Structure 1
Amino acid sequence: MTGIVWKTLKSRQMELGPDDGRAGRWRNWRLSRDADGIGWLIADQPEASANTISEEVLEELDQVLAEVEQDPPRALVIRSAKASGFFAGADVKAFVGARDPAEIEQRMGRAHQVVDRLAALTAPTVAVIHGYALGGGLEIALACDHRILAGDEARLGFPEVQLGLHPGLGGTARLLDLIDPLEGMQMMLTGKTMRPGQAKALGLVDAVTEERHVRTAVKAVADGELKPKVKPLNRLRSQVTERLFSADLPRRAVADRMRGQAARQAPPEHYPAPGALVDLWERHGDDPKAMRKAEVASFARLMATDTAQNLIRVFFLREKMKKITEVSDSVAKPRHLHVIGAGAMGGDIAAWAAWHGLRVTLADLKPEIIAMAVGRAAELYPKLGHDSAKTRDALDRLIPDVKGEGVRHADLIIEAAPEKLDLKKKIYAGLEPKMKPGAVLATNTSSIRLEALAEGLHRPERLIGVHFFNPVSRMQLVELVTHEGVSDETLDVAKAFLGQIDRLPAPVKSAPGFLVNRALTPYMLEAMVMMQEGHAPETIDAAAEAFGMPMGPATLADQVGLDIGIAVADSLKANLDKPLPVPPDTLRGRVDRGELGRKTGKGIYEWKGNEPVKARSFAKPTQEMTDRLILPMIDACLECLRKGVVEDEDVADGAMIFGAGFAPFRGGPIHYARTHDPAALKARMEALARTQGERFAPDPGWDRLT
């Protein structure tokens, strides 16, 4: 910050202004004034770890602003008392089930009035942000004259698109009026967060400083020494961009390009928010006031859609699954993890755990496999965080262990060996005598029943399943697999571990395929049957994508590996009491020829640059094709619920969304079936059973929906 000399050198806790004894006038805010005449408005919602923008918070803010207007301070600071951050966004619980756009528009109009009142204050306003400022929280900050980031961990962003929405408190116009419009639109369309350096470069914030310098920075605002940047990047570029997009024709051309790019990532028939945001900018990008007004109506229409309501449901599914990891303080969280098997899964589990602070020893019979795993970690870490020191520390915690000595010291051991029962039991026989008292043994098996794995163990109560999905760094779900003999202590340690590494657990009981693979296998095998019937894989993939699946079954089979798919299918067929589609001989032939999918460069598709090469022209899919793929997946979930493999419908929906990519805007397979005439869906399965075979006979679990 040019011209500012930071005088305060001593580190201290968060600067929240003076406590003048007047707390309690508002439930969510505290207003005080310091000796320099600076007002400090502190947000601190009671009994909450994070502040959110609720109607109550905004109503009280309106009262606070009325008082500030009567006696303006030299400057007004807005800050959070929560250690976690500024504001985590809007309180979306208030909009669950909201279906009347007119009523939503009225509520949002009142909220706009409060934020506009903040923006109109005569006193200079400054948002001091630590941690995160997301969604509505960032919109509050944008209504201030200045934004100062305290610390290098701050994150700013508009994740509303992930809820089927766009900013709704004036943020669309204020962001695009502040920074380069193309950068601003990209920020809102992707929902990505900005780090301090990025935010400063874009002109989103005026300064980035350390906590101990916050008071000095605020005083610089009051003294008029901190001037907001006129425009981001550089003045010339800003002037050219502003003049260019003030004209309708250039703005329309860029809007068309944005619309096309957004549609490739999120089909507009399923995800209308990106298109609605582009429409706003195209029509009102030259008039911020008109854009703020139009934003309210657009936001209200989106909030009332099935997409927004279902994506809000998904948000709460994630929160519910996160709570599963909350265990008593008396539970000893693992500090040392030992992983057996440094292949694609084991190596990546080890790397992910080391990134999250655990000491990890990684064992394998072949040193070169361990070296490859460490190499993958070295490539992954810079993508997770742009902090070379954190990368170095994580690599220091990831320890190659060819002799497997880490078993003796580990609190948790994860076995990630190939899916062979005899091999896994042999590994357990060798490591169990070396395990220290209280240590937990976990298996990453994807299909083997834990009862079979527990045979021969001296202490089967400390065996549990933690089934990760590939790629580990991107797939949030872990199936937490229990068997009748597992102890509560073992279960708690596993839950705590998944919380430590920021994964979402889906508690399931040991059963063939558990939940996700049990539901995905008929989906992928039916695609193989269709191919045998002569349908192009592109047509089959399009049938699933028409429903909203992010990836069709033919592509997914190649991603997973055709060899693995056949192995899981054979295992399930041998253990299920319901018929599965028979893998065609042509599929086994591909595997015999080494055409395993993406990992070999050829499978159902040829692969180039990690992307399948698909024909541009192919037959359109029929509704029956979509039914043949999707309905058995739903049926399998209902079977798992009926048999108690998974006990909670919400967890079943969350597991399929976060582990199998089930179309998020549908709200999960069980929710979809409940809200789309379950009797009619069941009847369609019965019709398929008559024409295609008994594999489509509806499970009795459908009765819970009708």
Structure 2
Amino acid sequence: MVAGLDGLRFSHWKAEQRDDGVLVLAFDRADESVNTFAQDVLIELDTLLERLALEPPKAVVIRSAKDKGFVAGADIREFAEFDAKGTIGDSIRRGQQVFQRLAELPCPTVAAIHGFCMGGGTEIALACDYRVASDDDSTRIGLPEVKLGIYPGWGGSVRLPRLVGAPAAFDMMLTGRALSAKAARNIGLVDKVVQPPLLIDAAAALALKGTQRPFKQRALGWLTNTWPARQVLAPQMVKQVSRKARKDHYPAPYALIETWRRTGGGIQQRLAAERTSVVKLAGTPTARNLTRVFFLQERLKGLGGKDHGITRVHVVGAGVMGGDIAAWSAYKGFEVTLQDREQPFIDKALARAQELFQKKVKDDAKRPAVSARLRSDLSGEGVASADLVIEAIVENAEAKRGLYAQVEPRLQGDALLTSNTSSIPLDELTRDLRRPAQFAGLHYFNPVALMPLVEIVRHEGMDEATQARLAAFCKAIGKLPVPVAGSPGFLVNRLLFPYMLEAATAYSEGIPGPVIDKAAVKFGMPMGPIELIDTVGLDVASGVGQELAPFLGLSIPAALATPPETGRRGKKDGQGLYTWEDGKPKKPEVPKDYQTPDDLEDRLVLPMVNEAVAALHEGVVADADLLDAGVIFGTGFAPFRGGPIQYVRTTGVDALLARLSALQARHGDRFAARPGWDNPALRG
């Protein structure tokens, strides 16, 4: 038995005594594939540390016994349960106490980090004296709690600023950004970076020998946390945050900065302030909705298995969407051929792909292999060997059917044929197919590298195995799949179009574009609808409008009624509803005395909510959670509100129906309540 631990049995921790006197504590959460901190894990660790404090070894190294990473953080499932029971304060107090006990052990402690180290994983590492990380690409260290509407509450927000200095610490905590091992070492978060096979030996050696951090790092940690420095730095941080997020939408960053600004004293005083602040945040609607969004994301990830049977991908259409789909697939490890009717189109897409690879593949030695996976294929020879063909040509049903007639006879027996159509009903595309069971929509969103969602568009003749393979493919390329019905606009564009259409209508009435955009952003949308129309392209918006307006019973305002003139399609031409320079819109000044209509926000948002209710009623997606997930990850719909259906539940069906009725009386029947408002799911 290990000295000091005689007679104790553990479910989640394994103690290993090395010949050099170093005790290695291996975290191996029982019955889970990934390490997360649940309360029973913390209780067990507390008992273990209590015994080690009485009979300490020469040193302690904490490592993971899992293949998948170090620690993913706290168990978010318990977080939601504690919120419902009102016991979050107890759980945060326990985490703080256990990690503080680790920090007070009378022997050197080292965290040996390999793979992902997030949230509570980073906090336990911060409670150790030293940190060693593997130089593997999978090793990422972060504190992403802000994405759940809180901030590090197990001592992380107290320890990190004093370790690496306030600027670097707050950059991590306010953005939720994860660092590579090398980047973590550069700011002083990690003391040493080694190859994975050397990790434990290096950690043990560091524990026994110790090290002193460079003077500059130690000085930065002290100087930037003095009372005067906190009073100077905090307002600057608030100003930076305010450019990205409103305090009434996302209070956590502001609470984090303010708690740090006003709290000094010893470790217990600072931990108490952290705990009080985080407990208060955890009870806010923002935190509850962002936690819900986390579970929605996990559900979408769970739709994709591992067995997609896809190695080679052939993309037809080298425009912005097709070219970027091809580049992203190659970046994610697939062999890709890219076809178009003329070589210059392909060359332009390949040049854009190199920009992506330059940005994403940091290791210069690895970049050529990634680039080699994407090849020009003017004649379409790649069709015959492809496991998946993605059509991304012009949004015209006849043109697409003509392409399928050429491509389908050349496909392998189990190959899948898909379309990146954004709005055409799939029944119009399957009309002449020989193998409709192996055809589906695979609708990406622009920009492909940034937008996480892909709609898997179903039709009656599609095989379930086709959906399963496509969901697994989405998972393999790091995208979130959501299965949707093949009716016009599917899910995301069907909801987004009434929002954009009403914005264009308001614009045609003379309401300034910046005023319209400001109202939407105030609600929580990531971008105003006028700017969005320009970003998507007036040509694309007009084309989608022609497809969806008759289906939704809406009329198209002048701004979108006809395809735009050449050179005035929006951002891509530098001129649309706005003028664009260096990729940014130059919005005209609005007179200071301009009075924004008091119903403008409702005019923009409620058409989208109204259509969400109708889409749920018609079964465009299987349930309300999938609808909210699709709209949040496909449009950026105010995550802190939890999605359009959650917004209905929070605001109240009767209240929203009354507001729609008022809009209908003032602006017309396009605001009439759509079918489905009696759905019990809206009150759940």
So what's the TM-score if we normalise by structure 1? 0.92
Of the candidates 398, 412, 433, which is equivalent to residue 436 of structure 1?
A: 412
Paired position in structure 2 for 1:614 = 587
Shift of 1:40: 1.2
Contact 1:689 1:695 in 2 (8 A): yes
Shift of 1:360: 0.5
Matches within 5 A, 1:203-214: 203-214=188-199
Of the candidates 175, 181, 184, which is equivalent to residue 196 of structure 1?
A: 181
Paired position in structure 2 for 1:77 = 61
Shift of 1:157: 0.8
Cα distance in 1 for partners of 2:239, 2:261 equals 14
Paired position in structure 1 for 2:353 = 377
CA offset digits 1:166-214 (Å, max 9, x no partner): 1101111211111122111111111111111111111111111112223
Residue type matched to 1:685 in 2?
L
Which shifted more, 605-614 or 99-108? 99-108
Contact 2:542 2:563 in 1 (8 A): no
Shift of 1:620: 5.4
Matches within 5 A, 1:17-32: 25-32=9-16
SS of the residue 1:489 aligns to: helix
SS of the residue 2:26 aligns to: strand
Shift of 1:579: 2.1
Paired position in structure 2 for 1:149 = 133
The answer to whether structure 1 residue 390 and structure 2 residue 366 are counterparts is: yes
SS of the residue 2:441 aligns to: strand
Paired position in structure 1 for 2:275 = 296
Call closer, same or farther: CA 1:85–1:605 in 2, change over 3 Å.
same
Call closer, same or farther: CA 1:277–1:20 in 2, change over 3 Å.
closer
Of the candidates 142, 147, 154, which is equivalent to residue 169 of structure 1?
A: 154
Residue type matched to 1:246 in 2?
T
Matches within 5 A, 1:301-320: 301-320=280-299
Shift of 1:100: 8.5
Matches within 5 A, 1:538-557: 538-557=514-533
Paired position in structure 1 for 2:42 = 58
CA offset digits 1:449-494 (Å, max 9, x no partner): 1111111111111110000000001000001001000112222221
Residue type matched to 2:167 in 1?
L
SS of the residue 1:360 aligns to: strand
Shift of 1:223: 3.1
CA offset digits 1:26-74 (Å, max 9, x no partner): 2211112122221111111122221112211111110110221232111
Matches within 5 A, 1:222-237: 222-224=207-209, 226-230=210-214, 234=216
Paired position in structure 1 for 2:478 = 502
Q: CA RMSD in A?
A: 2.2
Contact 1:100 1:304 in 2 (8 A): no
Matches within 5 A, 1:622-633: 622-633=597-608
The answer to whether structure 1 residue 477 and structure 2 residue 442 are counterparts is: no
Shift of 1:217: 1.3
Paired position in structure 1 for 2:549 = 573
Contact 1:370 1:400 in 2 (8 A): yes
CA offset digits 1:565-596 (Å, max 9, x no partner): 1110111123x1x422x332244478136421
CA offset digits 1:149-175 (Å, max 9, x no partner): 123321111111111111101111211
Cα distance in 1 for partners of 2:345, 2:254 equals 46
Shift of 1:333: 1.9
CA offset digits 1:386-412 (Å, max 9, x no partner): 122332221110011111000000011
Which shifted more, 409-418 or 605-614? 605-614
Contact 2:110 2:207 in 1 (8 A): no
Paired position in structure 1 for 2:637 = 662
Of the candidates 55, 75, 80, which is equivalent to residue 91 of structure 1?
A: 75
Shift of 1:523: 0.3
Contact 1:97 1:309 in 2 (8 A): no
Paired position in structure 1 for 2:489 = 513
Shift of 1:222: 4.3
Contact 2:483 2:621 in 1 (8 A): yes
Call closer, same or farther: CA 1:285–1:369 in 2, change over 3 Å.
farther
Shift of 1:148: 0.6
Paired position in structure 2 for 1:246 = 226
The answer to whether structure 1 residue 453 and structure 2 residue 429 are counterparts is: yes
Residue type matched to 1:304 in 2?
G
Contact 1:20 1:32 in 2 (8 A): no
The answer to whether structure 1 residue 605 and structure 2 residue 581 are counterparts is: no
Cα distance in 2 for partners of 1:106, 1:379 equals 49
Call closer, same or farther: CA 1:616–1:282 in 2, change over 3 Å.
farther
Cα distance in 2 for partners of 1:100, 1:441 equals 46
SS of the residue 2:247 aligns to: coil
Cα distance in 1 for partners of 2:331, 2:678 equals 45
Call closer, same or farther: CA 1:240–1:444 in 2, change over 3 Å.
closer
CA offset digits 1:93-113 (Å, max 9, x no partner): 222265589843333122211
Cα distance in 1 for partners of 2:374, 2:5 equals 51
Of the candidates 551, 558, 569, which is equivalent to residue 596 of structure 1?
A: 569
Paired position in structure 2 for 1:113 = 97
Residue type matched to 2:49 in 1?
L
Residue type matched to 2:241 in 1?
A
Cα distance in 1 for partners of 2:291, 2:118 equals 16
Residue type matched to 1:427 in 2?
L
SS of the residue 2:379 aligns to: coil
Paired position in structure 2 for 1:644 = 619
Contact 1:98 1:304 in 2 (8 A): no
Of the candidates 129, 134, 143, which is equivalent to residue 113 of structure 2?
A: 129
Contact 1:414 1:443 in 2 (8 A): yes
Call closer, same or farther: CA 1:590–1:18 in 2, change over 3 Å.
farther
Shift of 1:24: 8.6
Shift of 1:541: 1.0
Call closer, same or farther: CA 1:587–1:215 in 2, change over 3 Å.
closer
Contact 2:439 2:466 in 1 (8 A): yes
Paired position in structure 2 for 1:182 = 167
Paired position in structure 2 for 1:33 = 17
Contact 2:108 2:208 in 1 (8 A): no
Contact 1:75 1:221 in 2 (8 A): no
Shift of 1:77: 0.9
SS of the residue 2:277 aligns to: helix
SS of the residue 2:678 aligns to: helix
Contact 2:314 2:390 in 1 (8 A): yes
Residue type matched to 1:425 in 2?
R
Contact 2:314 2:388 in 1 (8 A): yes
Call closer, same or farther: CA 1:69–1:586 in 2, change over 3 Å.
closer
Of the candidates 297, 300, 315, which is equivalent to residue 339 of structure 1?
A: 315
Cα distance in 2 for partners of 1:381, 1:285 equals 45
Call closer, same or farther: CA 1:158–1:145 in 2, change over 3 Å.
same
CA offset digits 1:655-675 (Å, max 9, x no partner): 110001100000010011012
List runs of 5+ in structure 1 lacking aligned partners. Answer: 1-16
Contact 1:187 1:193 in 2 (8 A): yes
Cα distance in 2 for partners of 1:244, 1:206 equals 20
Shift of 1:242: 3.1
Call closer, same or farther: CA 1:243–1:300 in 2, change over 3 Å.
same
Call closer, same or farther: CA 1:265–1:542 in 2, change over 3 Å.
same
Cα distance in 1 for partners of 2:84, 2:439 equals 51
So what's the TM-score if we normalise by structure 2? 0.95
SS of the residue 1:87 aligns to: coil
The answer to whether structure 1 residue 421 and structure 2 residue 397 are counterparts is: yes
Contact 1:99 1:305 in 2 (8 A): no
Call closer, same or farther: CA 1:107–1:97 in 2, change over 3 Å.
closer
List runs of 5+ in structure 2 lacking aligned partners. Answer: none
